[in-house]
Structure 1
């Protein structure tokens, strides 16, 4: 550390302020005795709850009500007026987006889902935002904890999709999470840009997005001096999707898809990615594709590295 600071000082004006403890609203704690680094935004969450008058609400156990489906129905003029005057929907979702992006993968789906209604939210959508705030009340202490690991594989990735999850468009929601040193380092939850015709297609498209993240992670690790010679594991809970990625003879199932989705098959053939099956009950990325029940949240949270 001292040598790096000394070398940088030859080229830039700098001051050594010691170990980082706060960066862009993220609390950073290093425990050298236990070889851990933790990232949290507890102070940020407290400020959000006070800002939106939710600090005295009772906590809930899920980011969204399990199985909840919000509609795109245009609210009445009376409801629109009430939303504009009393419900700062856009401000709340925007503030939550930063939290979901930086340290809280467990709320990524909820924030992405609520963001679909930014243009014209109704009272039901605001109630869902308040539900998410109430989940944060009970989990504001959560932090991503990275630990020293002797695993031969520097990182692993999970991808999942919920076919036809959006009732308004028929599109699936895809998600992935990359885990390294015991916690999430990259994650995504997005509605897919087109309608897929089966769960296999939806899973394959989600795997492609995860594969791109894997490729980027491999590249940056190589730049950091950790070149990877073995393929990176991608866990998928759909055997048909894995077959399409591994076997050219299954091309007929996907020949109508855009050519860019064939990239995954080439990455598998080149030995960069190794898709493996994981049961739905062990699929960490499930929390990134739908509003799940309490037991699924409790299963996923520790595997995401949150504690």
Structure 2
């Protein structure tokens, strides 16, 4: 247990007669013990170099009746002159010349509390520490939707009514009566919560715990790779349920399987059957089941962004950023006029709104949004102009849809592409890693991220990017394995750098990369284990290229087709 902080004693005013009455209540042994204790304290003060202290025993004995903080009285007025005011909290002791004296006094007081049986130690209860509520990753959601397209699975949506109110509490929580309803139970009462309630920090966590209990009772298993997805596997039956707070999507081979899940859930929760999935977290879902085609789009969200930031009637451009355009911190406001101007524009709000597009359905703007976000702390007019340029691009591409359909040229369940732009960051010369994972015709996962170290060559930058892409491959293999898909061979990772390919395949090819941290050699291990097979792909055919730099119009159009983005 942590030391108990010293607190200022309460000053009690009482008469001499009252003092004598209280003294009469003490036994002779108790009075002798108190006298010995204060004699020891005075000796301790003298040994500490406080010879000038003249403390009357009567004063000390009087103090014991009024406070348990003995040292505050012993080291009083004269001590203030030499060491400053007495500390009232534990943190005040630190740094004092006489800190060791106060620490010893505090320890003696603490030991007396322990010996008195004042408290007992116990394991720290969770309280509101367990407040995290997992939500399905977008890469996992898109993988499930892509599987639904490729295998023509049924997709239905369910909304759980007042989801957070279903969570059971595992410890006592009390709340005041709601304002305006105090007369319902009468004044002087508080409410003890039996169920979770909105506003309770652990409400989301308890809801997830309740849902997990119900689904496991139905035979589902919580997926370890994503703790907001449950899967049911029995012989030829496979049902996958991703959950995002209270929004539930059910992917099953037949409608009967879906009805089984719905009827079981209705025994525990009040829910709304939303029918075949047409919207998911604000994303429109459209299907052509005759062609096994499923598409995702956010047209209305883009329109809303353009209206919100007064760009509804803007002219269009054909690239997310101008070809080859690079932004830097040097473009921050340079004078009072630019500073004043930037205070009038909603740069951060716009970048935040664009992030959801880049995360959900628009891999083509992922690099541009990432670059704009780097300057959110101090954007300048050039950054604002680039953000408006991206809005103009969205004006012309708001009808684009991320499309999943069978790809006869893709022999594997998914394929991964990795690329890097060496030293492209203008401010610190770090490289940008780009990754795209495709299932069928469309991208299910993508990333554009600045590397954490400065690389010394293109080979090194490409290799680090390949490591990051390899991590996504292993996660997806594990995820799909939990869904019931078997991998009999390695998953392919395409790179467009022959030297990086050689380093990953053969430990003899290390040359100038001997300084790389050991974690980056993890890729060799998974290649040797047969989980990943690295292959070369020319840059012109590399869809991850759009994740690393600003491209021209023709290249953007070509890359969008590779990503599965179509009008």
Specify if TM > 0.5.
yes
Q: Deviations over 1:112-156 (max 9, x none)?
A: 011110000001100000100000011000111111346430010
Q: Deviations over 1:71-100 (max 9, x none)?
A: 202312321221112x10000001101100
Q: Structure 1 residues 77 and 218, CA, compared in 2 at 3 Å: closer, same or farther?
A: same
- The 5 Å alignment of 1:153-302 reads 153-302=412-561
Contact 1:109 1:287 in 2 (8 A): yes
Find the counterpart in structure 1 of residue 350 from structure 2.
92
Find the counterpart in structure 2 of residue 72 from structure 1.
329
Distance 2:336 2:263 in 1: 61
Find the counterpart in structure 1 of residue 391 from structure 2.
133
Find the counterpart in structure 1 of residue 5 from structure 2.
none
| Partner SS, residue 403 of structure 2 | strand
- Cα drift, residue 9 of structure 1: 3.0
- Cα drift, residue 261 of structure 1: 0.5
Q: Deviations over 1:49-79 (max 9, x none)?
A: 0111111011100000011112202312321
- Cα drift, residue 7 of structure 1: 3.1
The reply on whether 1:123 has 2:377 as its aligned counterpart is no
What's the TM-score, normalizing by structure 1?
0.97
Q: Which has the higher contact order (CA 8 A, sep 6+)?
A: 1
- Cα drift, residue 295 of structure 1: 1.3
Q: Structure 1 residues 270 and 8, CA, compared in 2 at 3 Å: closer, same or farther?
A: farther
Q: Which runs of 5+ in 1 are unaligned?
A: none
Distance 1:260 1:212 in 2: 11
Q: Deviations over 1:172-219 (max 9, x none)?
A: 111100000110000000111110000000000000010011111111
Distance 1:273 1:24 in 2: 33
* 4+ long deviations beyond 6 Å: none
Contact 2:420 2:433 in 1 (8 A): yes
How many aligned residue pairs are there?
Answer: 306
What's the TM-score, normalizing by structure 2?
0.53
Distance 2:336 2:449 in 1: 30
| Partner SS, residue 312 of structure 2 | coil
Distance 1:121 1:227 in 2: 48
The reply on whether 1:43 has 2:297 as its aligned counterpart is no
Distance 2:463 2:263 in 1: 48
Find the counterpart in structure 2 of residue 31 from structure 1.
288
Larger mean CA deviation between 1-10 and 289-298 belongs to: 1-10
- Cα drift, residue 242 of structure 1: 0.3
RMSD: 1.2
- The 5 Å alignment of 1:98-113 reads 98-113=356-371
Distance 1:77 1:215 in 2: 51
Distance 1:30 1:284 in 2: 25
Q: Structure 1 residues 70 and 149, CA, compared in 2 at 3 Å: closer, same or farther?
A: closer
Contact 1:59 1:138 in 2 (8 A): yes
Find the counterpart in structure 2 of residue 7 from structure 1.
261
- Structure with greater Cα Rg: 2
Distance 2:424 2:476 in 1: 29
Distance 1:133 1:251 in 2: 44
Q: Which runs of 5+ in 2 are unaligned?
A: 1-254
| Partner SS, residue 215 of structure 1 | helix
